[in-house]
Amino acid sequence: MTNNGAPEPAAQPGATAPRSMIARALLRGAGSTIALVAIYYLLPLDRFSTVAAVTMLAIGLVVFIGLVAVQIRSIVASPFPGVRAVEALGTSLPLFLLLYASTYIVMDTISASSFSEPLTRTDALYFTVTVFTTVGFGDITAKTEAARLVVTGQMITDLVVIGIGARVIVAAVRRGQQQRPAGAGAAQPND
């Protein structure tokens, strides 16, 4: 979310974002996702304790909330809030999912009986996404009380992220669109 120094064009009511702006936003979102996934696969998650895993998840969720708050402000201030919202989702949603996948890896490393089968990083990510999407194929299940509590916590936060998060982002896009005066001529930077 850097600005290359050139101001973005001011958005007229009903104006469509330039294709180059849309392409840059999609590339930044994809780049953020790729970077987060690479970090997930490179972190030494097999060296954490249970306390460290819970602390990591708690701190990660606080960072996630802070990131979303910053992104909401930048959506409202953006000349093309819809484009900015898509870019924001490309960073925040993968972070959220990878926090839980990391926690599941640590839990499985500490206690192999936490889940119905040993988890690789890909298995943990797959399990996290199936819980998030409420698909729940049943091929990987939480077996211990601690694992079930963390999965239950994910289910609850999933509902919050999907329900409240989507509503807040849509409201931010609408607010950003409404703040553009008719015939706005001043260029505003895109955060």
pLDDT in tens, 58-108: 999 999 999 999 999 999 999 999 899 988 988 899 999 999 999 999 999
The pLDDT score that the predictor gives to residue 148 is 95
The pLDDT score that the predictor gives to residue 182 is 55
Q: How many domains does the chain have?
A: 1
Q: For the segment 160-184, what is each residue's pLDDT rounded down to a tens digit?
A: 988 898 899 999 999 998 887 654 4
190 is a domain residue: no
79 is a domain residue: yes
188 is a domain residue: no
Q: Over 90: is that where the pLDDT of 188 sits?
A: no
What's the rounded Cα separation, in Å, for the pair 94 and 160? Answer: 16
**Model-wide pTM > 0.85:** no
- Percentage helix, strand, coil, to 5, in the chain? 70, 0, 30
185 is a domain residue: no
- CA-based radius of gyration for the chain: 19
